[in-house]
Structure 1
Amino acid sequence: MTSAENVWARMSDLVLHGYDRRKVVTETLGLSFFKTKALRRLAPGPLTLGELAERLATDRPYTTLVVDDLEQRGLVSRTVHPGDRRRRLVAVTPAGAEAAATANRILSEPPPLLAALSPDDLSELDRLLRKLTP
């Protein structure tokens, strides 16, 4: 295994397996992670079903099913689009906004081992990661 492959494996293991925040989100909210992702995409403002489907990288029929479920749970609402009565806007309700905020808090919490690094180590890791960020 090359050095780059070894580092990538360690990074993947840390993010995807060692500290599975997605599982914590689903258990906390009682929603699939995909439904939580939909709420997080809607939190900044209403979207049409087509726009939401595009941002979720899925098809409109599946997006409709997801929105139907979120609406039944009281997490989103649908209204007529002001510019085109044939389209609907989907927006989070106050409960949906709270769920999205909870998910964002959980997902942004660093793993304990990362938080325990010294300020110098964190600074060095940040410097290296900035080199990898386009």
Structure 2
Amino acid sequence: MTYPTAGRAWQAMRSLVLEQHDRRAEVCQALDMSFIKVKALYKLARGPMTMRELTDALATDKPYTTLVVDYLEDRGLVERTRHPEDRRSKIVTITAKGAAEAEKANAILGAPPAPLLALPEEDLAELDRILAKLAGD
């Protein structure tokens, strides 16, 4: 069964966020790092993670996650410590400096684009209602 209207709406949403108003390049330039490193900071801002959890969250492999964490650690954005219950495991925790950078990234990525801001309030309210319904709220 096909749903042409739903397909058009989905394509429009994808295009809007991932093509027309993609802020990844802007955030990478502002933080002077690749987007996967920004993504790691964003994930770690929610709370400490083991290297394995971070690898899964980033959908990367272990060696690449290690390179990402090495870079972030060298810049003073995260700290790696031994897991208290598993000596073979490391926990990665964001630092205050890293949290500030994650917040800067979140502000850039979360800023609504001009066409959205130009919509009338009633359209924004309707869009908000629909998106909340899609998200299951």
- CA deviations on 1:23-66 (whole Å, 9 max, x unpaired) are 11101101111001001111122211111111112221111111
The separation in 2 between residues aligned to 1:122 and 1:4, in whole angstroms, is: 19
124-133 or 94-103, which deviates more: 124-133
- Find out whether 1:3 has 2:15 as its counterpart: no
How many matched pairs?
A: 134
Matched with 2:43 is 41
TM-score (norm 2): 0.88
The separation in 2 between residues aligned to 1:45 and 1:8, in whole angstroms, is: 31
The separation in 1 between residues aligned to 2:63 and 2:131, in whole angstroms, is: 38
Give the letter for the 1:43 counterpart: A
The separation in 1 between residues aligned to 2:128 and 2:80, in whole angstroms, is: 42
Give the letter for the 2:38 counterpart: T
Matched with 1:102 is 104
The separation in 2 between residues aligned to 1:4 and 1:45, in whole angstroms, is: 36
Give the letter for the 2:85 counterpart: G
SS across alignment from 2:36: helix
Q: Show the 5 A alignment for 1:1-134.
A: 2-134=4-136
Give the letter for the 1:32 counterpart: S
The separation in 2 between residues aligned to 1:5 and 1:47, in whole angstroms, is: 36
Give, in angstroms, the shift of residue 128 of structure 1. Answer: 2.5
Alpha-carbon RMSD: 1.7
TM-score (norm 1): 0.89
The separation in 2 between residues aligned to 1:3 and 1:53, in whole angstroms, is: 37
- CA deviations on 1:59-87 (whole Å, 9 max, x unpaired) are 21111111111111111111122222222
Give, in angstroms, the shift of residue 16 of structure 1. Answer: 1.1
Give the letter for the 2:54 counterpart: L
Identical columns (%): 54
Structure 2 residues without counterparts, runs of 5 or longer: none
Structure 1 residues without counterparts, runs of 5 or longer: none
